[in-house]
Amino acid sequence: MEKQSKNKAIVLFKGNQIRRHYDEEKELWYFSIIDIIQILTGSSIPKRYWSDLRNKLNKEGCQPYDKIVRLKMVSEDGKMRETDVADTETMLRIIQSIPSPKAEPFKVWLAKVGYERIQETTDPERSINRGRANWQKMGHSQKWIQQRMMGQEIRNKLTDYWKDNEVKEKDEYAILTNLIHQEWSDLSIKEHKNLKKLKTENLRDHMTDAELVFSSLAELSTRQIAEAVKAKGLEENKIPAIKGGQIAKNARLELEQKTGKKVVSKSNFKSIGNKKLKQLN
């Protein structure tokens, strides 16, 4: 059972909620350590328990401690706040340091839910079918889904180029992606999400057909320019990102001039199950 978006979701262990996030670049699930500690220990102050355990692990030079990262997740007050998270392997090692009768059944459960995406890498059809099902639930048409999948393939080829040419995953990918997006749309990704009134949702899942097309054109152009100039590293790849985004921007402006309609839209698909595009204009 999941809530929120496909990447930032809540799963249940015997009725208890656990926040998790899927990193698409690393293909890993990250779980909220605080949520898991509260379930295993029953502590009324799991943050204190984790603070003490974290200090203990650090002093012992425990390897899992080095793999703990901080991500923003929805807190009890509904706001996005940073919290410690760990991938499945690291979380299983942390659990070994927590005396609890729930530890063993929890390990089995954690291994199962953390293995979902690994199964999809050996059987890609699982991922494709899951994606189609999620988009259909959001009310997307078959035409939109096809466009979304085609755009994802273009995106994957671009990130493959970056990976092979000295661009660091996550932070530098995000910098270049935002640069491309700002060039073609005149908005940063954050500003575009704010326009659509999105929080944790994936922006592309709420794009119109036209927005998807121009986003894909910008990323396709970026990759082809980068390949032509053999760009390496973050700084060199910024130039193709800007130029690729500008190609899509020029096409967008020409279309807007011909139709009298803006391509960048406030519309979103937040009304799940409604089967209609919710207009916020």
Q: What residues form DSSP beta bridges with 82?
A: 72
The overall pTM is greater than 0.75: no
Q: What is the pLDDT of residues 94-123, one digit of tens each?
A: 888 888 888 888 887 777 666 555 455 445
d(CA 45, CA 34): 9
Name residues whose C-beta falls within 8 Å of residue 208's C-beta, 6 or more positions apart in sequence.
263, 265, 267, 277
Beta strands in the chain (DSSP E): 8-13, 16-23, 28-32, 69-74, 80-87
Q: What is the pLDDT of residues 59-92, one digit of tens each?
A: 777 666 667 888 888 887 778 889 999 888 888 8
